Amino acid sequence: MAENLLIEVVYALPERQDVVGLHLPPGSTVEQAIRASGLLAKYPEIDLAQNKLGIHARLVKTDTPLRDRDRVEIYRPLLADPKEVRKQRAAEGKAMKKGSGEPGAD
Bridge partners of 92?
A: none
Dump pLDDT digits (tens) for 12-66. 988 899 999 999 999 999 999 999 999 999 999 999 999 999 999 999 999 999 9
Contact 9, 39 (CB under 8 A): yes
CATH number of the domain located at residue range(s) 5-77 in this protein? 3.10.20.30
pLDDT above 60 for 103: no
Q: How many CB atoms lie within 10 A of CB 26?
A: 13
- For residues 87 and 26, give the distance between their C-alpha atoms in angstroms, rounded to a whole number: 46
Radius of gyration for the chain, computed over Cα atoms and rounded to the nearest angstrom: 21
Name the band, by pLDDT with cuts 50, 70 and 90, for residue 77: confident
Selected residue with higher pLDDT from 89 and 99: 89
